Amino acid sequence: MSTPPDVSVVIPTLNRPDLAVRAVRSALAQTHTALEVIVVVDGPDPATEAALAQVGDPRLRVLVLAERGKAPNARNQGALAATGKWTALLDDDDEWLPHKIETQLKLAATAGKASPVVATRMISRTPRADNVMPRRLPAPGEPLSEYFTVRRGLFYGEGFIQTSTIMAPTELLRRVPFTVGLRRQQELDWALRAVREPDVELLYAGEPLVLWHQDEDRDRISLQNPWEEQLAWLRANRELFTPRAYAAFTMSVLSSMAAPTRSGKVFRSLLSEARRHGRPGMLDYVTFLQIWALPPTLRARVRDLIVGRRAADRPEEPEKPETVDA
């Protein structure tokens, strides 16, 4: 490697060689070339190792774990192995646009705190539509738990952070590791814990620089619905949320996972949880009812239609960075 890397890219993967190679090539194609790409293979996987061996770029390193520990553990192991000052995370089924890292490094240089977390907007790509997320950036002084969870409309994606958009100091990722064993909301959990550190602020690049592929015929962790596990996580981490955010998460995110049960008992339980420990707003009640009343596939189609139309009609925002302190 001619230039020592200042950015380490960590890509967890297992048994998806074609996707892993696509992700790796998007990282190696960055306009900022002083980087290393660490693919963490989450357990023995000869097919992926063989596919990566064909890439032929000295900036690529492959770390094969002895046994499977899932994506949060793989990210943690990748951060431990990183040599760059910064670590950028990339899921194996996503891609970066070529100037993502360059843009993030320029934004990081404007930070007012020592350990900025730099995220970007992304293009959420489904077979039906492309949508830019998050649809809005944090307002000055807005609690991040509310930015990530409280809706101003009926559909998710207004406030959002996704793993493949995150770049952070390598030291911070070691100091605040991902929660091993958590199947959903891994980036939300990490971001809310990270920004509690006194030297951390969250910055957003206004430009979408990640392709988030949501192929609906492919199994994804984010399509699993462990709502009881998520409720336990929420209760154990109540201090990360304002009462407003606690209610919004319960009535939107948790309800989206639990609604397929069609259980009146679960419906009443989540409503009680939100009211007992949170402070629901009127839109939370409307969201909660439509989640339970409409099948998920119909909600998704309506969302793509409405959000896509609004995005097409709305003038583009100026691409200025937004900063939110811890």
Which residue, among 226, 172, 181, 191, has the nearest Cα to 73 in the 3D structure? 181
pLDDT mean over 3-28:
96
In angstroms, the Cα distances linking 68 to 10, 15, 42, 234 are: 16, 11, 5, 25
Around Cβ 12, how many Cβ atoms within 10 Å? 28
Confidence class for position 306, pLDDT limits 50, 70, 90? low
State the pLDDT at residue 319.
39
Answer yes or no: are the C-beta atoms of 63 and 9 closer than 8 Å.
no
Distance (Å, whole) CA 140 – CA 23: 34
Distance (Å, whole) CA 142 – CA 14: 38
Percent with pLDDT over 70 in the chain: 85
pLDDT in tens, 260-296: 999 999 999 999 999 999 999 999 999 999 999 877 6
Distance (Å, whole) CA 301 – CA 108: 37
Residue 316 has pLDDT above 80, yes or no: no
Residue 125 has pLDDT above 80, yes or no: yes
Residue 222 has pLDDT above 50, yes or no: no
State the pLDDT at residue 303.
59
In this structure, of 219-228, 232-241, 261-270, 281-290, the range with the lowest mean pLDDT score is: 219-228
Confidence class for position 2, pLDDT limits 50, 70, 90? low
Q: Which residues contact 192 (CB under 8 A, 6 or more apart)?
A: 144, 145, 148, 237, 240, 241
Answer yes or no: are the C-beta atoms of 71 and 221 closer than 8 Å.
yes
Which residue, among 145, 20, 40, 157, has the nearest Cα to 87 in the 3D structure? 40
State the pLDDT at residue 317.
39
Residue 311 has pLDDT above 90, yes or no: no
Distance (Å, whole) CA 71 – CA 41: 10
Q: Which residues contact 99 (CB under 8 A, 6 or more apart)?
A: 30, 31, 32, 209
Answer yes or no: are the C-beta atoms of 290 and 155 closer than 8 Å.
no
In this structure, of 174-178, 212-216, 225-229, 243-247, the range with the lowest mean pLDDT score is: 212-216
Residue 137 has pLDDT above 90, yes or no: yes
Which residue, among 171, 9, 192, has the nearest Cα to 92 in the 3D structure? 9
What's the mean pLDDT when you consider all of the chain? 88
CA angle 58, 59, 61 (to 5 degrees): 90
State the pLDDT at residue 224.
52
Residue 314 has pLDDT above 70, yes or no: no
Of the chain, the end-to-end C-alpha distance in Å amounts to 36
Q: Which residues contact 184 (CB under 8 A, 6 or more apart)?
A: 221, 222, 224, 226, 229, 230, 257
pLDDT in tens, 33-70: 999 999 999 999 999 999 999 999 999 999 999 999 99
Confidence class for position 326, pLDDT limits 50, 70, 90? very low
Confidence class for position 301, pLDDT limits 50, 70, 90? low
Residue 322 has pLDDT above 60, yes or no: no
- Residue predicted with more confidence, 134 or 297: 134
